[in-house]
Amino acid sequence: MPLEERVGRIAAWAELAEDEAKALGGAMGLSLTRADQMIENVVGLYSLPLGIAVNFVVNGRDVLAPMVVEEPSVVAGASFAAKLARAGGGFRATATAPEMIGQLQVLDVTDPWSARLDLLATRDELLSLANESDPVIVELGGGARDLEARVIEYTPAGPMLVVHLIFDCRDAMGANAVNTACESLAPRIEQITGGRVLLRILSNLADRRLARARCTVPVEALAYGDFAGEQVAQGIIEAYALAAADPYRAATHNKGIMNGVDPIVIATGNDWRAVEAGAHAYAARSGRYTSLSTWARDAEGNLAGTLEMPLAVGTVGGATRVHPTAQVALKILGARTARELAETIVSVGLAQNLAALRALATEGIQRGHMRLHARQVAVAAGAAGDEVTQVVERMVAEGRVRPDRAETILAEMRNEQL
Ligand code: MEV
């Protein structure tokens, strides 16, 4: 579809108001004044493409996924894999309670083991104290849930006590709520332990706030060109096996998953560095960095994929509410809660992983990627309007997608026109 028609279809699907549709085009999006209220020393705005991944069914619901990303092939890959998963009923996703962990580091404790028990004995009092720091979240059904205390015997600064406050953030990402609650507990924890509290900050290893997705793809749906479905399924499982066993491959494999995750996290105004940190720390939780996803054959012979990862994302608070385009992205997604948002994000992560593995296990990543990449190369070489398609077609036909070649072709084309 031409660009304007696409915007029109999305606006109709998501029932966007005129201003909201304009926010997509950038006209009514983030203003300089608003940006100046978001961070410090603002001197401008920086734009990225916002695309829509299609074909997703998540828990029986048709979903359009807004993705903010600079890399060609990502949106196409997610949409293609979603179509494969759709043939098996789409994605089934769940998310655990939105519980974050806040850490307090307690130093200079004479007997950390006894202090640990003193803290656990005061659990209820400490949880009530933490709740006083955010009555709104408590009213919404969230707040302090539990308290854990660990002694870490060997650190470069000697033994220390680490207290974990488990805090349910409801629909917020929760960094502010958790950090405030931790800070409010510090004086009382110093009293109880006789120690000195230094750090009071959430952990990005949000392993109590997990999102999980699964999909099954009928093997016939994987058939492609000269590749039989069986062969593709086997190739995907063998490709996954290397990521499961080898950190060098696991890093790239998980990067492919994050190609699906980050663009929605960014589109919805969430903290993608937090999500990245959580994902990779979770992938290393056994002590050896490994794949976040799994691929196998199910009892019926279908290809079955799963993905489990921490996803600390919110639909309220922070930039989600301040950035006008983030609001529109949330509306397009139709996610009513942080949980639903996480369920869609983890599904798109799994789809992106499937798209990459399928390409890698068959014709390789470059063939499909090159045509899309060629557009960026042509534009970077100075091609404009219709020239872009012509330069792309010639580079792809020649099998030479390179900046120098784009410049030469462009110069030749322009000369011919003189
Ligand atoms: C490129 O952005 C992502 C891939 O490298 C992922 C993978 O290798 O699985 C294609």
Domain boundary residue among 203, 235, 267? 203
- Give the residue whose CA is nearest to atom 3 of ligand 1: 256
Quote the number of domains for the chain: 3
Residues 250 and 399 in one domain: no
Q: For position 193, what pLDDT does the model report?
A: 98
Q: Kindly list the strands in the beta sheet with 293-297, ordered across the sheet, starting from the edge strand earlier in the chain.
A: 92-95, 210-217, 303-310, 293-297
Residues 217 and 311 in one domain: yes
Q: Is the pLDDT of residue 64 over 90?
A: yes
- Give the residue whose CA is nearest to atom 6 of ligand 1: 256
Q: Does the CB atom of residue 256 touch ligand 1 within 6 A?
A: yes
Closest atom of ligand 1 to 256 CA is: 6
Say if CB 200 and CB 179 are below 8 A apart.
yes
Q: For position 284, what pLDDT does the model report?
A: 98
256 CA from centroid of ligand 1 (Å):
4
| pLDDT, greater one: 319 or 107 | 107
Question: Would you call 118 exposed, middle or buried from its count of C-beta atoms within 10 A (0-12, 13-18, 19+)?
Answer: middle
CB atoms closer than 10 angstroms to residue 178: 30
Strands 303-310 and 160-168: unpaired
Domain boundary residue among 160, 175, 203? 203
Closest atom of ligand 1 to 249 CA is: 8
Closest atom of ligand 1 to 239 CA is: 9
pLDDT band at 197 (very low <50, low <70, confident <90, very high): very high
To the query of whether residue 255 is one of the catalytic residues in this protein, the response is: yes
Among 382, 390, 384, smallest CA distance to 407 is for: 382
To the query of whether residue 238 is one of the catalytic residues in this protein, the response is: no
To the query of whether residue 373 is one of the catalytic residues in this protein, the response is: no
CATH code for the domain in which residue 229 is found: 3.90.770.10
pLDDT band at 25 (very low <50, low <70, confident <90, very high): confident
Mean pLDDT, residues 393-403 taken together: 90
Residues 130 and 218 in one domain: no
Mean pLDDT, residues 327-345 taken together: 96
Residues 217 and 189 in one domain: no
Q: Is the pLDDT of residue 29 over 90?
A: no
Q: For position 268, what pLDDT does the model report?
A: 97
- Give the residue whose CA is nearest to atom 1 of ligand 1: 256
Residues 356 and 285 in one domain: yes
251 CA from centroid of ligand 1 (Å):
9
Mean pLDDT over each residue of the chain, to the nearest integer: 95
Mean pLDDT, residues 145-167 taken together: 97
pLDDT band at 114 (very low <50, low <70, confident <90, very high): very high
Q: Is the pLDDT of residue 318 over 90?
A: no
Q: Is the pLDDT of residue 368 over 80?
A: no
Q: For position 371, what pLDDT does the model report?
A: 78
Q: Is the pLDDT of residue 231 over 80?
A: yes
- Give the residue whose CA is nearest to atom 2 of ligand 1: 256
Residues 243 and 301 in one domain: yes
Give the range of the structural domain holding residue 151, as residue numbers without chain letter: 99-203
Q: Does the CB atom of residue 252 touch ligand 1 within 6 A?
A: yes
CATH code for the domain in which residue 384 is found: 1.10.8
- Give the residue whose CA is nearest to atom 9 of ligand 1: 253
Residues 77 and 224 in one domain: yes
Quick one: what percent of the chain has pLDDT higher than 70? 100
Domain boundary residue among 203, 223, 248? 203
Q: For position 103, what pLDDT does the model report?
A: 98
253 CA from centroid of ligand 1 (Å):
6
Residues 216 and 313 in one domain: yes
To the query of whether residue 331 is one of the catalytic residues in this protein, the response is: no
Q: For position 399, what pLDDT does the model report?
A: 86
Following CA atoms 60, 61, 66, 67 in sequence, which dihedral angle do they give, to the nearest 10 degrees?
0
Residues 90 and 234 in one domain: yes
248 CA from centroid of ligand 1 (Å):
12
pTM: 0.93
What does the alpha-carbon distance between residue 124 and residue 147 come to, in Å, rounded to a whole number? 9
Closest atom of ligand 1 to 73 CA is: 2
CATH code for the domain in which residue 154 is found: 3.30.70.420
Residues 142 and 165 in one domain: yes
379: helix, strand or coil? helix
Residues 122 and 169 in one domain: yes
pLDDT band at 36 (very low <50, low <70, confident <90, very high): very high
Q: Is the pLDDT of residue 259 over 90?
A: yes
Q: For position 367, what pLDDT does the model report?
A: 75
Q: For position 107, what pLDDT does the model report?
A: 98
Q: For position 366, what pLDDT does the model report?
A: 77
Residues 266 and 354 in one domain: yes
